[in-house]
Structure 1
Amino acid sequence: MKFLNFGSLNIDKVYTVPRFVKGGETLSSVSCAEYPGGKGLNQSIALARSGSQIFHAGKIGKDGLFLKKELASEGVCVEGIYENGLITGHAIIQVASTGENCILLYGGANKEITFEQIDKVLEDFNSDDFLVLQNEINCIDYLINAAHKKGLTIALNPSPISKSIKNLDFSKIDYLILNEIEGQDISGEKSPSKILGYLLSNYSNLKVVLTLGTNGAVYRDNVQEYKQEAYKVKVKDTTAAGDTFLGYFLSMVSQKSDIKLALSVATKAASFAVSRKGSSSSIPVLAEVLA
């Protein structure tokens, strides 16, 4: 089996700040750096570094060719990345002294995906394979419907959350991996137990992983539930933590690992990511996590 990540490709411009800038305020940054980014790119690198065979599809402009090279250097197949976008998606990221981040995102070429590109890419995948999606590209609903018809296992990370997410057909999704804020927005509930209860009562097909930051993560499907405590580390940058978790979790379950082990490994991998600065550069390799 193999993974197809039809996902975003961004140029991340990261500013280290003493605190987040307020409305109407001008704040000097401590430092500035530029990295390959986008939830799609980060998740593909996490899947690759966790040992999975991963194909990335998406779109960039000529200003983003280095993103394609970055993925290729990680062993990701990049034939599905089109280079005819007007301008590559990018993000302005503030990282505070606490390690927390806030992000201003511009979709760019990520929002120029076409039905023709989707149909062409999906020709090479079948019911043995996984499709990974985030909410940083367009045509998500078309992708879900097309992949479901072919029998792919579909994993959705509904981030960044938007009103359009609620219009998706969750009955065609296998894995829903989301954080508390996203869970609250979709369900209208506030507590983790009620968020999970809402999702499973309405969509019994779902396998839900709800990440809870410093409180770890919870997995629930229609027959079982597992909780995983967070590993305590010194937090430097949380930018790619969720993407790292997702990549490692899906990689483990695709290898038929039990859910408890998948949760543990994914949480350990995310703890490595938050202890380092950067986005994709902070994602650990499998040997580090297992050691």
Structure 2
Amino acid sequence: MSAGSGMTIFNLGSINIDHFYRVPHLPAPGETLAAHDYRVGLGGKGANQSAAAAKAGAKVIHIGAVGPEGGWAVDRLAGWGVDVRHVARLDTPTGHAIINIDPAGENAIVLYPGANWKLPLSLVEMALAEAGPADTLLLQNETAYQSEAAAWAREKGMRVIYSAAPFNVGAVRAVMENVTVLALNAVEAEQLSAAMGIGIEMLDLPEIVVTRGAEGAEWRSREGACAFAPPIQVQAVDTTGAGDTFAGYFAAVRDAGQTPGEALDLAGAAASLKVTRHGTADAIPTLEEVRSFRA
């Protein structure tokens, strides 16, 4: 199936290099602290969602940018089957996160957006020129040109799935009119309700998905249809990227033509399995792993 013939997920998404430091406690101001473990991984909400959707079996085209030191991150995405033709190589450093993790699993993160905010608008336009009405656009709040991409996608009749994370009410307002599926976690849903002055279910959007961690996930449509996925009890060791795993799987299952309820179930299982593993994009499970986990 060629790109543009439908059933492709275009993800305008961040690519970050995650630096994980395991520390005895989160550093206090003025404190110098020795980390007892360090590793590097691929992250960024965009890369995580592309990885999840591709591992779930979808055809994924990633639109983004890295700096001179980010080549391996692009190669890793490609290794999972993500089409990376529209990932620009810029002179700006690759986006990265410094993640300090204490023994209880609590983290403190410093994020440098880097190339994610410097990608050219022409790159987005060129990539979306291949898209058709049967395709999906995935968005998160970690790149430039979200509202432009959403507007172009809706002009083409595409489904637009938007993760309102990291939460920013201005970013949400800028894309809202062109979003078909708004995906939030419980905290983001509360923040948006407070900012808009109305309950989340009152927002005039075709579809809303709210993930509630250990309380499962829910989907509702503008027409009043609802679906709910109960939680799966697991021993969580690392919740980083759980929401992205959910979003990528949800997009992939919907892209395959399945119901919102089926998408919630599979996405919930994928996120539950992810949190039992350390790491971010690398730790996102494959469809086979999720199926055997559910069985």
TM-score strictly above 0.5: yes
- Distance verdict in 2 for CA 1:80–1:227, change over 3 Å: same
The answer on whether the counterparts of 1:101 and 1:239 sit within 8 Å (CA) in structure 2 is no
- Paired position in structure 2 for 1:144: 150
The answer on whether the counterparts of 1:99 and 1:235 sit within 8 Å (CA) in structure 2 is no
The answer on whether the counterparts of 1:101 and 1:237 sit within 8 Å (CA) in structure 2 is no
- Residue 209 of structure 1 aligns with an amino acid whose one-letter code is V
The answer on whether the counterparts of 2:135 and 2:255 sit within 8 Å (CA) in structure 1 is no
Residues paired across the two proteins, number: 285
- Distance verdict in 2 for CA 1:210–1:102, change over 3 Å: farther
Alpha-carbon distance in 2 for matches of 1:225, 1:55 = 30
Q: Identical aligned pairs, as a percentage?
A: 34
- Distance verdict in 2 for CA 1:133–1:161, change over 3 Å: same
Structure 2 residue aligned with 1:172, among 147, 160, 178?
A: 178
Does the alignment pair 1:15 with 2:21?
yes
Q: Deviations 1:110-149 (Å, cap 9, x if unpaired)? A: 0012221111111111111000001000111111112211
Alpha-carbon distance in 2 for matches of 1:206, 1:98 = 39
Q: Deviations 1:92-119 (Å, cap 9, x if unpaired)? A: 1123333343322110000012221111
Alpha-carbon distance in 1 for matches of 2:23, 2:225 = 43
Q: Secondary structure at the match of 2:42?
A: strand
Does the alignment pair 1:56 with 2:57?
no
Query: 1:25: Cα distance to partner?
Result: 4.0
- Residue 67 of structure 1 aligns with an amino acid whose one-letter code is A
- Paired position in structure 2 for 1:38: 44
- Paired position in structure 2 for 1:274: 275
Query: 1:70: Cα distance to partner?
Result: 0.5
Between 1:211-220 and 1:278-287, the stretch displaced more is 211-220
- Distance verdict in 2 for CA 1:82–1:169, change over 3 Å: closer
Alpha-carbon distance in 1 for matches of 2:60, 2:139 = 13
The answer on whether the counterparts of 1:200 and 1:206 sit within 8 Å (CA) in structure 2 is no
Q: Under a length normalisation based on structure 2, what TM-score does the superposition of the two structures give?
A: 0.91
Alpha-carbon distance in 1 for matches of 2:171, 2:94 = 23
- Paired position in structure 2 for 1:232: 233
Q: Under a length normalisation based on structure 1, what TM-score does the superposition of the two structures give?
A: 0.92
- Distance verdict in 2 for CA 1:99–1:235, change over 3 Å: farther
Query: 1:23: Cα distance to partner?
Result: 4.1
Alpha-carbon distance in 1 for matches of 2:203, 2:51 = 33
- Paired position in structure 2 for 1:251: 252
- Residue 44 of structure 1 aligns with an amino acid whose one-letter code is S
Does the alignment pair 1:213 with 2:213?
yes
- Paired position in structure 2 for 1:283: 284
Residue segments in structure 2 that go unaligned for 5+ positions in a row: 1-6
